[in-house]
Structure 1
Amino acid sequence: MNFITIKTILLFSFFSLFSVIVRTQSNEYPIIPVPAELVPQKGSFTLNDKTQLYFQNTMDSSFEEAFYLFREHLKRSTGFDLPKANTNSGKNIIICKLNTNLEKDEAYKLLVSRSKIEIEAKTPIGLFYALQSIRQLLPMEFEQTTLSTSTKWNIPCCVINDAPTFVYRGLHMDVCRHFVSVEEVKKYIDQIAMLKLNTFHWHLTDDQAWRIEIKKYPKLTTVGAYRNRTLQGHNNDYPRVWDNTRTGGFYTQEEIKDVVDYARKRFVTIIPEIEMPGHATAVVASYPELSCSGGPFDVEGRWGVFNDVFCTKDETFSFLEDVLTEVAALFPSPYIHIGGDECPKVRWKRCHACQQRMKDEGLEDEHQLQSYFVKRMETVVHKLGKRIIGWDEILEGGIAPDATVMSWRGIAGGISAAKQGHDVIMTPSEAMYFDFYQSSLHTEPLAIGGYLPIERVYAFNPYVKELEPKDLKHILGVQANTWTEYMPDAQHREMMVFPRVAALAEVGWTSEKNKDFDSFAIRLPKLMKRYDIMGINYSRAFYSVVGTAINDGGLKLKLSTIAPETSIHYTTDGSDPTLSSPIYREPIPVGEKEMVVKAISVKNNKVMYIPYERSFIANKAGGQKVVFENADGVRFEQNGSGNLTDCTMGGRPVSRPDWFSYAGTDGSITIEFEKLTSISKITFSSANQNNVLVYSPKSINFLVSEDGTTFFPVGAVWHQQMAAAKGKAIVSFTPKKVKKIKLEIAMYGIIPNTEPNSGEMSALFVDEIIVE
């Protein structure tokens, strides 16, 4: 009978949530990801120089190899060697047993008692994951690289029965926008393994660099691995600012083999990504004959999507087969990722070879040509004994028969693929893109945009409700993506990945019923202290103060922080808050005068993060009821459109949460005052950044109503006027007492041929409507 007895299982039924366990026991169990079942016990097991290690004789040498890294790490930090025992009897022993009855290969069972530790596993990886749990139960000094002689090496007693929810749990790293050293890659693999993630997605090629040595095509690295300039600042900023330093780097095949072997020992699979048919500038700069136009080209120093892609002539497919043949020999992964995303068709439309290909293959349009490209490459990958993964664009024009889809443009692509019987890895940008901002503070280091605090990562469920049970089997798991355009160095990359990767780990491992953010928030600081010892430059945005404008008897500012045992100190006069400043206890009224609120989070008399700061402008519309109506489209709003009247201007870039965004048909915005209010000026403030599809409206009609029913016009503003005024539309009129204001908005709509991104639907970004 297994060591988890019926009595133990019955005992576990008394504990419905791990968070309850954490709070009610004297022992602490700060394991991330949280185990499927954990039953606390009293007391602890103490490791010392007499502790022995026993392997059941049915275990082969691979189980001992799985124990090796932990054993060496333990010896480094404690000095204990864990000599092998000849018998499993006695005390002060770690016993490893084979349990072939465990349902999943990665499952394990762990019993920690005062006298011994017992581990049951079906496979070496299960044993390895049990050791990662023990690692997090050990004192954090375990992470030291030098001997600690003063630490008592206690492990709290418990019973754990654990297994992952998803078979695929991945972290992606883009090494093309900025080169990432072998040492840094190994550091990510170490952290992936500790948190029981099992896949490292290595994005090796893009417009800005080709990073992997291909012996048959040396120019890919002598030319394609380097660029002569790199964009500084944000991609949306004008005028452009450049760093004209030549930069680059690549991995030799020997280095690739070394990293792959390093990952193998930590049970991490590395999936290489070789981008095609788009994001190919570094390739065609090296071999311009693979393009439609013949070049010449430079390796790109800008970020974005570029028109020069692989041509669909036979020479291209021969080249890619040669490349993938070398790649497949380096990576034992069952998959090769072929990209398939963001491939403009403009060159194909004008290319004789591509148009002839379409005619010969009976293809109706360039989307089907891309599908042909992907399907042809799938045949090559199959011949190499692998399967392909592609971003969700590979669904367009018809998906390759055996392709696995990474759904990044939301969850829709994953839903569609699963319903068609294809395997899916969920990686939607709004929940899984680690290049998004971690806090709403405008003092955060520059990022691409977006807003993804750790609690939003944690809240994602890959088993999306839109899928029926029969289709859920195709959801293999989850992955977070780290695109490095705005992460030029190792310190910055670590700050963007850690500790959000811990939330990712719990999403991938833990069942939805066992997830509890309050419990996670208690365990996370323990992991952060380990990061301190490891020298990882993690973000402390977990401790950031969040401000939310609410309408509660007038506009008020609600301050909060997700970190437990943390207080908030604030000021309202623009001065810097200190430990002596008032403690926040209730929402702060925001009147019709200008005001600057600053706040800090404090724990154990220590300021935990950079100060929150928010400036409020005089605005009669502040906190009033706002309705956005008569529209059919997609919008993002922070607080029921309340960020249109929260008395705060939006920050940069425009995708931050203090902006209201919308793409769709014409609509209207109505502001209703609680009482008749005298006004004489209305300012509508929007963004007009055409290079990223953001356009001020085609026109706005401003209307007012005294009775709330009948409206009268007070002015109109056209797109050209707003564009010239940096997105602002201002109307002034003789003072009027009004009950409602209405803005009738004609959207800019489809972008014309005279503008960048012609044919695309424009988006509207509004940060505030100011009424005076």
Structure 2
Amino acid sequence: MRLKKYTYLTALLFLIASFSFAQKNEYNIIPAPLNLKPSKGIFIFNEATSLQLGKGVSPEVENAFFILKDRLNTAAGLMITANNTARSKNVIICRQNNSLEKKESYILNITPAKIEIEAREPAGFFYAAQTLRQLLPVTIESKDLVSNIKWSVPCCRIEDSPVFSYRGLHLDVCRNFASLDEVKTYIDQIALLKLNIFHWHLTDDQGWRIEIRKYPKLTEMGAFRDRTMKGHHNDYPRQWDNTRTGGYYTQEEIKEVIAYAAERFVTIIPEIEMPGHATAALASYPEYSCSGGPFEVEGRWGVFNDVFCTREETFDFLEDVLDEVAGLFPSEYIHIGGDECPKVRWKRCHACQERMKEEGLKDEHELQSYFVRRMEKYLKGKGKKIIGWDEILEGGLAPDATVMSWRGIAGGIAAARQGNDVIMTPSEAMYFDFYQSRLPSQPLAIGGYVPLEKVYAYKAMPDELTEDQYKHILGIQANVWTEYMPTRAQREYMIFPRVAALAEVAWLPEAKKNYKRFSSDIPSLMQRYSYMGLNYSDAFYSIIGNTVPDKETGLKLELSTSAPGMQIRYTVDGTEPTIESPLYTGGIPVSDKEIVVKAISLKDGKIMSPPYNQTFIVNKAAGQQIIFEDAQGNISGQNGGGNLTDCIMGKFPLGRFDWFSYAGSDATVTIVFDKPKTISELIFSSANQNNVYVYSPRNIEFFISEDGGTFRSIGNVKHEQMAAADGKAEVTTSPLTVKKVKMAISMYGVVPKDKIGAGNPSALFVDEIIVR
């Protein structure tokens, strides 16, 4: 009997413990608060919950809660109204706190009885409301009424404030037009994650998207194009979709969007490109070009030679345009582009050369600087500041210009050292048009590789700057260029959830970032996206394959995911993996025989992403040391598993993560074997895509070393042979036992006059080097 009582007691204690564990509070907030102190209990919203504005709180603060109230009304059927009758329970109390450092700072204290919010300005109350929204069950984002849900938030105390004043997200609507509804949804998502800048890229070669009433042809003609290239820019020959496409925003629609954003504490910065990326404008008004046209709105992507001329009439035109833009947008900034402006037309233009003489300019780079400075001076007279891409540094920087550093961080560092303000947006971490997964099933992108974790790892404050120079780093921004995003669904797929990593990097100090904690919060956000109807990417769950050297097998494949707590199952015989396939527990040998590895990621028995699928080729170079040395003595190395010897053939488009690219002097590649190898075949695989200035080498000579010190040639392959073989150079020999092999690369060099890109230096893209 005593044993029976003990068993009952044990069971009861177990149930209590289980219940307590199940009720443990979770705080899935992105961006994570600066300081959060969890506590026990929950606050429950119900029909009687009210909003109370404390003494001195502006009545407009009630508007800061409109999204939260709308969500509670739609999904929960609860009406939260303002009631200034003093209450101590079931109430959200807002108090003024002028001692807080920033206008966006807030303090949020949640107890079972009440929610107390302190802020200095309405923006702080708005961000506190977004935090409450994220603490509510994810079903709060439902567009329909949800029943049988406890609408509660966990108790805690939060003291929160952003590290950067500028937290931006960009959208290019020129390459592919976005509807008004899509733009508003975009702003909704910016606001949810406490970003505060929407950079609206409104003009480019492929479309002019803003109504300018003084120049109606800008939208009548410049907003539409008759064809759009299909496939990747590097594909050749070109293929076309001859469907007429385009669109633009009227000034009334733009005012509507500006008001919509302002309600959500989002500032819109318009971008009007100049002096380059002007083809759509010049197709409408060719008289403002150097050559006079005619032009058509571009259906290709890239950089084009026809830019705005520097004649006085052009400046009159641009000033008229900026008059209307400045009158529409309340932002203190207007972005004028300034990037990727070829100087070809200016060099041949009499008017531009005369302008250079009149202004005492030594070259066309200084002419561009003159152009930018003149526009800055004009906008300054209208109370506006300019932002430009980091090319505006060339030829001398306008004194009050803000630099948007996209070609790495060097431009931002240089500008900050000169005393100019900077927004960091380096392409290698902040370009959301880059691939976010290595899976071949990913939709076509421009190239590159920026997964969620790479966005999160970005450090916005360069170590090279001094404390005094840091003050010029206003913040960071991610860019969404839409050349390869023709539909709304595809744009959403490329943006979400990477924007969450941007938000946290922009909000938190570097010391407070924690990817492990962030990755545990992402699934909750993705569930919210599901209720919102967003087409977010599942790349977070996709399998990442990395090849690493292995002493026994030469090379092994390691599989992982960005998401925590995942299970991986795989096959190596080409069959599709299932939940019953072998469980991945460690590296898979991939260099001793040709195999196809397929793998899936699972959570709670559910497949979470498309399968990983990779073919590995037999290669004795796998896992071996690679030494790359150019004729100028620069040396770099890969210690096995790099993309030159990872047993994986490079895929197109060029610029993907699986190619080794180089542009420079002649060079050598040496493979150092860990032990002597018997070989009979060497293959050097390169790309030969002349339309993008990528050329196989002019010549490759192959060498072997049997003693590890002296080399002898075993053959060479010329460019014409490689071009005919899709970039492949191959030599064979009778079996030889060697310690090293070397390839001497004679670069193709400057593109000749009769080729595309004449006069430009060629580039080399290599993958794979195969030894058999």
TM-based fold match above 0.5? yes
**Shift of residue 248, structure 1, vs aligned partner:** 0.8
Task: Supply the distance in 1 between the matched residues of 2:638 and 2:331 (Cα, whole angstroms).
Answer: 41
Name the structure 1 match of 2:766: 766
State the SS of the aligned residue for 1:716. Answer: strand
> Equivalent residue for 1:13?
none
2:670 matched residue in structure 1: 670
For the 8 Å contact 1:634–1:664, the answer to whether it is kept is: no
Change (3 A) 1:462 1:635: farther
Residue in structure 1 matched with residue 726 of structure 2 by the alignment: 726
Separation in structure 2 between the aligned mates of residue 763 and residue 109 of structure 1, nearest angstrom = 54
| Matched pairs, number | 750
- 1:452 offset after TM fit, Å? 0.7
Give the match's secondary structure for 1:376.
helix
Instruction: Between 352-361 and 714-723, report the one with greater CA deviation.
Output: 714-723
> For the aligned residues, what is the CA RMSD?
1.7
Report Cα offsets for 1:514-540 as digits up to 9, x if no partner: 101111110000000000000000000
Q: Does the residue aligned with 1:664 lie in a helix, a strand or coil?
A: coil
Residue matched to 1:596: 596
Q: Deviations over 1:219-259 (max 9, x none)?
A: 00000000000101111111111111111110000000000
Equivalent residue number for residue 233 of structure 1? 231
Deviation by residue 1:651-684 (Cα, 9 ceiling, x = unmatched): 1112122211223333221112222222121100
TM-score (norm 2): 0.95
Contact 2:627 2:637 in 1 (8 A): no
Equivalent in the alignment of 2:16: none
The offset of 1:88, in angstroms, is 4.0
Matches within 5 A, 1:346-745: 346-553=344-551, 554-630=554-630, 642-745=642-745
Q: Distance in 2 between matches of 1:598 and 1:92?
A: 54
In the alignment, the residues of structure 1 paired with residue 113 and residue 278 of structure 2 have an alpha-carbon distance, to the nearest angstrom, of: 60
Residue pair 2:62, 2:82 contacting (<8 A) in 1 also: no
Deviations 1:449-486 (A, max 9, x none): 11110100000011011212211110000000000000
**For 1:363-400, what per-residue CA distance to the aligned partner results, in whole angstroms no more than 9, with x for missing partners?**
11110111111111111111121000000000000111
- Taking the aligned partners of 1:79 and 1:685, their CA distance within structure 2 comes to 63
Q: CA contact under 8 A between 1:633 and 1:664: conserved in structure 2?
A: no
Please state if 1:200 is matched with 2:201.
Answer: no
SS of the aligned residue for 1:735 comes to: strand
Q: Percent identity, please.
A: 63
* 8 Å CA contact retained: 1:661, 1:766: yes
Distance 2:757 2:467 in 1: 39
Q: Using the alignment, how far apart are the partners of 1:281 and 1:551 within structure 2? A: 50
Any gaps of 5 or more consecutive residues in structure 2?
A: 1-20
Match of 1:255 in 2: 253
1:571-614 deviations in Å (ceiling 9; x for gaps): 00011101010010010012432110001111111111111111
Q: Indicate conservation of the 8 Å contact 1:633/1:665, yes or no.
A: no
Q: How much does 1:766 deviate?
A: 1.0
Residue 643 of structure 2 aligns to a residue in which SS? helix
- The one-letter code sitting in structure 2 at the alignment partner of 1:563 is A
Q: Distance in 2 between matches of 1:429 and 1:756?
A: 26
> What secondary structure is seen at the aligned counterpart in 2 of 1:70?
helix
Note the alpha carbon deviations across 1:746-769, whole angstroms, 9 max, x for none.
Answer: 333444444434444433211111
8 A contact 1:573–1:597 mirrored in 2:
yes
- Aligned mates of 2:430, 2:230 — CA distance in 1: 25
AA partner of residue 194 (structure 1): L
Q: Deviations along 1:158-197, whole A, 9 cap, x unmatched?
A: 0100000111000000000111000000000000000000
Cα pair 1:636 1:661 within 8 Å, conserved: no
- Name the counterpart of 1:139: 137
Report the Cα distance in structure 2 between the residues aligned to 1:186 and 1:475, rounded to whole angstroms. Answer: 28
Alignment-derived partner of residue 70 in structure 2: 72
How many angstroms apart in 1 are the aligned matches of 2:313 and 2:733?
67
Judged with a 3 Å threshold, the aligned counterparts in structure 2 of structure 1 residues 295 and 604 are, in CA distance, closer, same or farther, namely: same
* CA distance 1:312–1:636, shift in 2 (3 Å): farther
CA distance in 1, matches of 2:271, 2:626: 46
| Aligned match of 1:6 | none
- Partners of 2:481 and 2:585 in 1: CA distance: 39
Q: Shift of residue 79 of structure 1? A: 2.1
**CA–CA distance in structure 2, aligned partners of residues 652 and 452 of structure 1:** 17
- TM-superposed deviation, 1:69: 2.9
Deviation at 1:626, TM superposition (A): 1.6
Deviations 1:62-121 (A, max 9, x none): 212222332233222222222333344421111000000001111000000111100000
Normalising by structure 1, we get a TM-score of 0.95
Measure, in 2, the Cα distance between the counterparts of 1:551 and 1:759. 41
Name which of structure 1's ranges 617-626 and 241-250 shifts more when overlaid on structure 2.
617-626
Report the alpha carbon displacement of residue 208 of structure 1 after superposing the two structures with TM.
0.5
CA, structure 1 residues 701+690, in 2 after alignment: closer, same or farther (shift >3 Å)?
Answer: same
Q: Secondary structure at the match of 1:63?
A: helix
SS in 2 for 1:437: coil
Please report how far the alpha carbon of residue 699 of structure 1 lies from its aligned counterpart in structure 2 after TM superposition: 2.3
How big is the shift at 1:639?
6.8
Per-residue deviation, 1:637: 8.7
Please say which of residues 662-671 and 743-752 is displaced more in the overlay.
743-752
What are the Cα deviations for residues 295-330 of structure 1, in whole angstroms up to 9, with x where unaligned? 111110001111111000001000000000000111
Of residues 253-262 and 144-153 in structure 1, the stretch that sits farther from structure 2 once superposed is 144-153
Amino acid aligned to 2:619: N
- SS of the aligned residue for 2:237 comes to coil
- Hey, what does 2:8 align to over in structure 1? none
Q: Encode CA deviations 1:398-456: one digit per residue, 9 max, x unaligned.
A: 11111000000111110111110000000000000000001111111111111110100
AA aligned to 2:181 is: E
Distance 2:634 2:70 in 1: 54
Tell me the residue number matched to 2:92.
94
Contact 2:369–2:395 (CA under 8 A) maintained in structure 1: yes
Q: What's 1:54 paired with? A: 52
SS of the aligned residue for 1:177 comes to coil
Aligned counterparts of 2:706 and 2:94: Cα–Cα separation in 1: 80
- State how far apart, in whole Å, the 2-side matches of 1:633 and 1:520 are: 43
CA distance in 2, matches of 1:612, 1:637: 28
CA distance in 1: counterparts of 2:232 and 2:475, whole angstroms: 32
Taking the aligned partners of 1:728 and 1:642, their CA distance within structure 2 comes to 19
Residues 622-631 or 437-446, more deviating = 622-631
Q: Distance in 2 between matches of 1:467 and 1:180?
A: 38
SS of aligned partner of 2:268: strand
Using the TM superposition, name which of 452-461 and 729-738 deviates more.
729-738
- Do the aligned partners of 1:30 and 1:136 also contact (CA within 8 Å) in 2? yes
For the residues of structure 2 that align with 1:343 and 1:445, how far apart are their CA atoms?
A: 29
Q: 1:632 to 1:613 in 2, by over 3 A?
A: farther
Tell me what 2:746 maps to. 746
Does the 8 A contact of 2:629 with 2:636 survive in 1? Answer: no
Contact persistence 2:547–2:641 (CA under 8 A):
no
Give me the whole-angstrom Cα distance separating, in 1, the residues matched to 2:384 and 2:642.
50
Q: Which amino acid aligns with 1:707?
A: D
Deviation track 1:620-669 (CA, whole Å, cap 9, x = no partner) reads 21222222234669999987672211111011112122211223333221
* Match in the other structure for 1:107: 105
Secondary structure of the corresponding residue to residue 704 of structure 1:
strand
Aligned to 2:429, what secondary structure does the other structure show? helix
Range moving further from structure 2, 627-636 or 343-352: 627-636
Q: Give the residue type in structure 1 aligned to 2:426.
A: P
The 5-angstrom pairing of residues 161-310 of structure 1 reads 161-310=159-308
Where does structure 1 lack aligned partners over 5 or more consecutive residues?
A: 1-22
